[in-house]
Amino acid sequence: MAGNSIGQLFKVTTFGESHGIALGCIVDGCPPGLPLTEADIQKDLDLRKPGTSKYTTQRREPDQVKILSGVFEGKTTGTPIGLLIENVDQRSKDYSNIMDRYRPGHADYTYAHKYGFRDYRGGGRSSARETAMRVAAGAIARKFLATRGVEIKGYLSQLGPIKVEQFDWEQVRQNPFFCPDASKVADMEQLIDDLRRDGNSIGARVSVMATGVQPGLGEPVFDRLDADLAHSLLSINAVKGVEIGDGFACVEQKGTEHRDEITPEGFTSNHGGGVLGGISSGQDLIAHIALKPTSSMTTPGRSVNVDGEPIEVVTKGRHDPCVGIRAVPIAEAMMAITVMDHFMRHRAQNADVVSSAPLIPPAVAD
């Protein structure tokens, strides 16, 4: 069962290779009546698209999206929305040297075993280029969620050793790193310049949150909101870890520290990250992800070729020294898709529920 769909009710199915003709996706299940234009989607795509600063890959892709179906007279019709982005700046010949060899840390070796052969041009389907369509589909989810008061926003919380210390949402969209701490931007620039010069790369931590989520979303026992979010975020290329709320810090916490107490004025804290028992609590939904340093770099690495002989590999092509940077809009998109899907799943079963439970405000500090 091939896994190119995500979401059960707000279902996104994507196709496309890095150096193929086009990328595309179908969003099936979007509620009808939502005002939607290509510009709504393009806005998010432009945040992810390559070549916008010297800190990301230099491949120039306009990532111009076309809506092919599912929208009529400016509104979604409830039928499937077909989206298409043509690839325009392939340089497939950069990859002829990896045709018969497996780049270490890449999916070359595993694709070869799984499928018997692979489209090696630019990583084919395993390329992060595939994530463009996630952002496009996520933009539709975000547009809908906004009508319900839900806002989704992410930021780079750590670039290699550089941790964010001050926090200002206004800054996030004003530097090429999605960094909320203006005082760290110069360090980040320097780090990336150094890495590029050294033919190396670096990991990153990205944080993403949703505000305004109603209590009740999530489907225990398996499809908990946080479990589905973990699936969704870990499906992004290069992600190696997910935390909900305090995440791994919980390991050393005591119960009296961790539990978010409840008062009529609001929760006293949000260690849980907005989820209790797999269901949203109405607090901010908070997740963090760890992204590995990309293995696409010019420092030679040991590997084998298709005949099992030892070789050295140098990854040419145009690459991001830190894939975590452009991961911010992707993580936002994935959270949007998951929250949207759970909004729909919840109401499918529970549309008639009129709960008399009191509505507790989120923690003041959120």
266-285 residues in contact with a second copy (CB under 8 A) are 268, 271-273, 275-282
**CB of 212 or CB of 278, closer to a second copy:** 278
Please select the residue that binds a second copy; options are 48, 49, 125, 196, rule is CB under 8 A: 125
Site for a second copy in 83-112 (CB under 8 A): 84, 102, 104-107, 109-112
Please select the residue that binds a second copy; options are 22, 88, 182, 364, rule is CB under 8 A: 22
Cα(first)–Cα(last) distance of the chain, in Å? 40
How many Å apart are CA 90 and CA 129, to the nearest integer? 11
Q: Give the nearest distance from C-beta 235 to a second copy in angstroms.
A: 4
The residues that bridge with 159 in the sheet, in sequence order, are: 162, 204
Q: What are the φ and ψ backbone dihedral angles of 181, each rounded to 5 degrees?
A: -120, 100
Please select the residue that binds a second copy; options are 51, 151, 189, 258, rule is CB under 8 A: 258
How many Å apart are CA 40 and CA 45, to the nearest integer? 9
Instruction: Using alpha carbons only, give the angle 41, 203, 284 rounded to the nearest 5 degrees.
Output: 55
Query: Which residue has tokens 């005082």?
Result: 183
The residues that bridge with 291 in the sheet, in sequence order, are: 204, 239
H or E segment and range at residue 190: helix 185-198
- Site mask for a second copy (CB under 8 A), range 129-148, x = bound: -x------------------
**Residue count at the site for a second copy (CB under 8 A)?**
161
CA 129 to centroid of chain Cα atoms: 12
**CB of 39 or CB of 116, closer to a second copy:** 116
**CB of 170 or CB of 221, closer to a second copy:** 221
Please select the residue that binds a second copy; options are 93, 165, 169, 251, rule is CB under 8 A: 251
Q: Does 351 bind a second copy (CB under 8 A)?
A: yes
- Choices 47-55, 170-178, 182-190, 223-231; region in contact with a second copy by CB under 8 A: 223-231
**CB of 212 or CB of 215, closer to a second copy:** 215
Please select the residue that binds a second copy; options are 54, 60, 91, 113, rule is CB under 8 A: 113
Q: Is-contact 286 270, C-beta < 8 A?
A: yes
Q: What are the φ and ψ backbone dihedral angles of 87, each rounded to 5 degrees?
A: -80, 135
Contacts of 187 (CB under 8 A, 6+ apart): 162
Please select the residue that binds a second copy; options are 96, 174, 190, 299, rule is CB under 8 A: 299
Binding residues: 48, 54, 125-127, 237-238, 277, 292-296, 318
Q: Give the nearest distance from C-beta 293 to a second copy in angstroms.
A: 4
How many Å apart are CA 200 and CA 314, to the nearest integer? 11
Please select the residue that binds a second copy; options are 177, 295, 326, 336, rule is CB under 8 A: 295
**CB of 146 or CB of 234, closer to a second copy:** 234
H or E segment and range at residue 267: strand 266-267
Binding residues for FMN: 125-127, 237-238, 277, 292-296, 318
Q: Which of 57, 49, 64 is nearest to 94 (CA)?
A: 57
Count Cβ atoms below 10 Å from residue 41 Cβ, excluding itself.
25
How many Å apart are CA 84 and CA 148, to the nearest integer? 27
Q: Does 329 bind a second copy (CB under 8 A)?
A: no
Site for a second copy in 149-208 (CB under 8 A): 158, 160-161, 195, 200-205
